[in-house]
Structure 1
Amino acid sequence: MEEDYFSIDAILAENQKIACRFTIDIPDMGHLGGGGERDITRASTLQLPVWLVYTIVLSNWADMIMPPAFGSKVRNALKAEPCSVRLASLVGAGGLWYGFGKTILEMLADEGKQEMSNLLTNTFRKRLVEVIDQAQHFAALGPAGGVGPTGDSAQSFREGLDATERELFALAQEGSKRMKRWYEESDKPRR
């Protein structure tokens, strides 16, 4: 996390709340959960910001509950067909699913780290092919960028992408347009 200190994407990815189940009683800290209780009791569950969860989990005061964006339902859907999952709708803050996953990964034990790492890596690898393919397809539609029903499908596709994937989509689309322009210009007869 320290290497991402000045990264806006890292800040946005950490702008999430995570449920924690406390393993000990903590007196005079009930205000953390925003409730009216004075104390945090053992086995109580609170939604806390990521920056606070680091300290609480690493101090063994609470156990982190896996966020729904990485729960079994999402993991199973990603294993079955990664391209069908709209990652942007799983987390807030601009759809930084991979960034949030990296944040969660840092708080997991070794066994959980490996599983989360595999999930993030495999999802990215499998979706990258589709992202590049779609970027090239929509770039080939010309300067209109796919206005009309095709443009609607391009917009719909982009809206389901994680912020990292959207950035790669834009880069691939621009690269494809430049390649096409270069090819057309080099095809002209020289005088």
Structure 2
Amino acid sequence: MPLPSSYSPNYFSIDDILATQERTPCKFLLNVPKMGQLNPSAAERDLKAGTSLELPLWLVIEMSAGRQPIITPELPKVFRESYREILKADACAVDLHKYSLHFYEVGSYVKHFDRRGDVHEILLHTFKTRYRQLMDLADNSVSDPSVQHSLDTLEKRIFVASHSARTKLNSWLIKSGSPLEAAELVVNHKKRKRVDVDDMK
């Protein structure tokens, strides 16, 4: 059974596991006893309120939830304003693979940390802008490998599926090889017209 892909928490999704392993900056709101080892730059046994760390996204989600959150999450670097402006200017020119291997998956989580909704908007803008480029790549039998290397995991999956479908269609069109013929109704209609013309002469 193939492992599923998902853009919501899924225990069996490899993409979801890898995406939530990415580190996200956050600040502790409370003192946390016996967790000082999470901060390699400090010798204290406890984590003090105000400490800033980068933690895995899955842990940040849990610790920032509830009525009394332990931490306040911040946006990862690639979703901050300076990077969003680059994507707005020309999303197709960006090497999204360098931004994040799971750009859209991570974005679907961190957008909940952004009350203004800027992350949500840039995710939609980036995908819509780059989708046309993906389809152009899939239609070409020989595409620029450097462009393929700039795709994130979701885009690569779409490209592979689209390119495979295009290849199968082209193969079917070549193998079928049967000439196009007019439908029987069209042929009979033309014959009837000829008879009518002959009768008028």
Structure 2 length as normaliser, TM-score? 0.76
Whichever residue aligns with residue 159 of structure 1, its letter is H
Matched, 1:78 2:84: no
Aligned partner (choices 7, 11, 18) of residue 13 of structure 2: 7
Matched, 1:19 2:25: yes
Relative contact order, CA 8 A, sep 6+: which one is greater? 1
Cα RMSD after superposing both structures? 2.2
Please state how far the C-alpha of 1:61 moved relative to its aligned partner: 2.2
Structure 2 unaligned segments of length 5 or more: list them: 1-6, 181-201
Q: Secondary structure at the match of 1:81?
A: helix
Matched, 1:96 2:73: no
Q: Check whether the contact 2:19–2:102 (CA below 8 A) recurs between aligned residues.
A: yes
Please state how far the C-alpha of 1:39 moved relative to its aligned partner: 2.1
- 1:29-178 alignment runs, 5 A limit: 29-35=35-41, 36-58=43-65, 59-91=68-100, 95-106=101-112, 108=113, 111-112=115-116, 114-137=117-140, 139=141, 146=142, 154-178=144-168
Structure 1 unaligned segments of length 5 or more: list them: 140-145
Whichever residue aligns with residue 109 of structure 2, its letter is T
Bigger Rg, structure 1 or 2:
2
Poorly superposed stretches of 4+, deviation over 3 Å: 186-190
C-alpha distance in structure 1 between counterparts of 2:8 and 2:164, whole Å: 32
| Paired positions, count | 171
C-alpha distance in structure 1 between counterparts of 2:87 and 2:96, whole Å: 10
Q: Secondary structure at the match of 1:15?
A: coil
